[in-house]
Amino acid sequence: MTGYDNLSTGRREFLAGALAHGAFRLVVGDLLDETALHAAMEGQDAVFHLAANADVRFGLEHPQRDLEQNTIGTFRVLEAMRARGVRRIAFSSTGSIYGEPTVFPTPETAPFPVQTSLYGASKLAGEALISAYCEGFGFEACIFRFVSVLGERYSHGHVFDFLRKIARDPTRIEVLGDGRQRKSYLYVHDCIDAMFAAWSRSSGGASVYNLGTDEFCTVDDSLGWICERLGVRPERAYTGGARGWVGDSPFIFLDTARIRALGWRPQLSIRESVLRTVDYLRAHPWVLERGAA
């Protein structure tokens, strides 16, 4: 098994367990480096394409980044697969592709969504390319639209931001938006289990699955759990508005009936996932200090 990563936000330390395994090799390379990518693709049976610019919030500051890293990056992966005769792909898309949906919980068949972020747009374009490769070149794909993922090796997102802010000042915390944004989250091991549940039943063409829990919480709820765990009671200063930033969806709640029909169920609730993430970051302070590059 080959891991291909430019280590831009990934950490070699996260792969310590894999690297100790004789069957795993890490190639440090960029998706946009065709030569290196084609070489790494040689002899592979399938691809789990997770590499991306996973940051939703700062898309407008770097309009080209999502296009290059997510859409063109996905195109490069597909072309390397085609050149090397690899036909099976799993893809980490996102619930952000639904923009601000009108149907809740939001099913995979929701009306074609208006895009509200460059990240969502770039991922939806990646999905479209994959579907077209399935039609045109006989590829087989599992496309996963994740809600926000929590748990071990977490290096960006709201729990990360809140912990950093509390470490700086435990008496006062800035909350982006009005704190009433409703969000759904998924524990990382539940996410991986769901991916394999779908992968093992895949049977040609492109299949799309929402991955999430059947609950949601508010940003305020999550901050409350974090503070309780840390034993702090900071005064909350809201920046105001229904959205934390342009492109932030005030309500994310995905319909997961399709993946549940395969027998998959999440093991952790959102609250348990938030607390697990807090505990992980407290036990691994270097992750919190360095964060995503």
Ligand X SMILES: NC(=O)c1ccc[n+]([C@@H]2O[C@H](COP(=O)([O-])OP(=O)(O)OC[C@H]3O[C@@H](n4cnc5c(N)ncnc54)[C@H](O)[C@@H]3O)[C@@H](O)[C@H]2O)c1
CB of 130 to ligand X, least distance (A): 13
Angle (CA) 50 58 192, round 5°: 25
Q: Applying CB under 6 A, which residues contact ligand X?
A: 5-10, 30-32, 50-52, 54, 69, 73, 92, 94, 146, 148-149, 155, 157, 292
- CB atoms closer than 10 angstroms to residue 137: 11
Residue number, 51 or 134, with CB nearest to ligand X: 51
Residue 242 near residue 292, CB atoms below 8 Å: no
Cβ-based burial of 100 (10 A; exposed 0-12, middle 13-18, buried ≥19) = middle
Residue number, 139 or 146, with CB nearest to ligand X: 146
Give SS3 for 266: coil
Say what the alpha-carbon torsion angle 131, 97, 110, 184 is, to the nearest 10 degrees. 130
The pair of three-digit structure tokens given for residue 81, joined into one six-digit string: 């697969």
CB of 67 to ligand X, least distance (A): 12
Q: For strand 88-94 and strand 140-146, is the pairing parallel, antiparallel, or unpaired?
A: parallel
Residue 146's closest CA among 211, 213, 208? 211
CB of 37 to ligand X, least distance (A): 8
C-alpha dist (Å) from residue 28 to 15, 36, 177:
12, 9, 38
Residue number, 57 or 260, with CB nearest to ligand X: 57
Cβ neighbors of 121 (< 8 A, separation 6 or more) are: 66, 115
Residue number, 52 or 166, with CB nearest to ligand X: 52
CB of 177 to ligand X, least distance (A): 18
Residue number, 59 or 73, with CB nearest to ligand X: 73
* Cα 269 to Cα 187: distance, rounded to the nearest angstrom: 8
Residue whose tokens read 């940003």? 219
C-alpha dist (Å) from residue 230 to 180, 202, 236:
21, 43, 15
CB of 235 to ligand X, least distance (A): 28
280 in active site: no
Q: Which of 4, 98, 119, 209 is catalytic?
A: 119
Residue number, 89 or 234, with CB nearest to ligand X: 89
CB of 6 to ligand X, least distance (A): 4
* Cα 154 to Cα 159: distance, rounded to the nearest angstrom: 9
Q: Could you give the residue numbers annotated as active site?
A: 119
